[in-house]
Copies of this chain bind each other. A is one copy, B any other.
Amino acid sequence: MLDSPPGDLPCLTVCATLLEKAANQASLCRSCEVLGVDRLVLPRVDESWEFRKIAASAQQWQRVEYCPPDQLLQWLVQQTGYRIVALTVQATAQPLTDYAFAAKTLLLLGRELTGIPANILALCDGALTIPQYGRVESLNVQTAGAIAIYEYNRQWRSP
């Protein structure tokens, strides 16, 4: 569909290693599992009761890899074959509603308050934003991530 040759299969990695709050990581883990994300990348192992509760035990089924945030740059350059797209609140980013995902996509989420550092953003193939209409600066990062995953699925996994 659109950017990739016919026959490509959905293959979405969500990189959430910049997320600082365990509650957001856990909630995103649940969303990824329910929405069929191939691979979720988190900063560290968290076997706490709180994580498992918020994740609704999704960590049992979701494929998860780990990358500390200070190793993100090196990790990203190793992800060959993926189109790397950053989810941001920058007005200059492409609206998610207009974006055609590649089948093999790596969706990069940012820190709760400060987003994605400039040196990391420079490595990305594109930057997306969810159209906003309010006065609050942004959506919660896991909510935004789930919306982007839904849009990816709408393009690549709809029946």
The chain A residues found within 8 Å of chain B, CB to CB, are: 27, 30-31, 33-36, 56-58, 61-62, 95, 97-98, 130-140, 142-143, 146-147, 150-151, 153-154, 157-159
What DSSP secondary structure best describes chain A's contact surface?
loop
Flag if B136 contacts A33 (CB, 8 Å).
Answer: yes
Taken together as a complex, chains A and B put the C-alpha atoms of A142 and B133 apart, in Å, by 18
Q: Which residues of B contact A131 (CB under 8 A)?
A: 153, 157-159
Flag if B34 contacts A136 (CB, 8 Å).
Answer: yes
Q: Which residues of B contact A130 (CB under 8 A)?
A: 35, 150
Flag if B135 contacts A61 (CB, 8 Å).
Answer: yes
Cβ-closest chain B residue relative to A34: B134
Flag if B157 contacts A133 (CB, 8 Å).
Answer: yes
Which of A133, A135, A150, A151 counts the most B-chain CB atoms under 10 A from its CB? Answer: A150
Q: Which residues of B contact A151 (CB under 8 A)?
A: 150, 154
Taken together as a complex, chains A and B put the C-alpha atoms of A136 and B142 apart, in Å, by 17
Cβ-closest chain B residue relative to A133: B36
